[in-house]
Amino acid sequence: MYKLDRYWHGLLHILFPQRCAGCDTVLIHQEHILCSTCLYHLPQTDHHKDTENETAKQLWGKVKFQYAASMLTLSKSSRVQRIIHQLKYDQQPEIGIYLGKMYGEILLENPIVDRVDVIVPIPIHSIKKRKRGYNQSEYFAIGLSEALNIPFDTTCLKRTVNSVSQTRKSRIDRYDNVENAFAFVPQTGGKQTPNHVLLVDDVITTGATIAAAAQQLIDGLGCTVSIVTIARA
């Protein structure tokens, strides 16, 4: 039976070869999501070692938070950009789980994560979710949740505005556009109120979106918020 499984696995690999999310080369048997070259060259930020990192600085003055970090640096036309693009637009949510597990292992070194009660992904609007089929940040949260052994929650935050043409707006317009984009959803059924939420997103750019979502959690739950993203642009 085992031999037959291996046979089918091999055949499937020939018929539908798995490709690297970073460089599109065909993955070899032991590789998963990323080839060893892309894995080796991932531009890790090392934010977990530095509380005054660039992501934290980006959020200073926008919202009150305990700790903020991004896993990777995103530059134009880079492998990180390709990875994020496939996670978001190419029906590959498993990339999010993979990266979440990877970053979770790294974050275990940081004592802050011991204080986190729940992981909350930044929601996308229900219309976008229906169209895309999934929320990419939720899959990153699933991976983090597995590695850190902390539950995740997708019910306490809702996206109320479907922000579509962000790219055509100026920086200030964008800030206004996201300020009211989220709503806290009061919890029912005797759920315990968390003291410390780890809010997660795919990419931080201006920080306005994350700050708006974090503020809703702070106001709604009276909790401390820490923030983690896959990449910073």
CA distance 217 to 63: 11
In this complex, which beta carbon is closest to Zn ion, that of residue 22 or of residue 100? 22
Least distance in angstroms from the C-beta of 82 to Zn ion: 9
Q: Which of 13, 18, 19, 23 is the binder for Zn ion (CB under 5 A)? A: 23
Cβ-based nearer residue to Zn ion, 31 or 117: 31
Q: Using CA atoms, how far apart are residues 210 and 213, in angstroms rounded to an integer?
A: 5
Q: Which range binds Zn ion by CB under 5 A, 32-40, 67-75, 108-116, 160-168?
A: 32-40
Contacting residue, 33, 35, 71, 204, with Zn ion by CB under 5 A: 35
If binding is defined by CB under 5 A, does position 20 make contact with Zn ion? yes
Least separation in angstroms between residue 89's CB and Zn ion is: 18
Q: Residue 27 interacts with Zn ion (CB under 5 A)?
A: no
Residue 16 to residues 3, 12, 44, 124, 206: CA-CA distances in angstroms? 20, 6, 30, 31, 39
- Shorter beta-carbon distance to Zn ion: residue 23 or 183: 23
Q: Is 22 in the site for Zn ion (CB under 5 A)?
A: yes
| Binding interface with Zn ion (CB under 5 A) | 20, 22-23, 35, 38
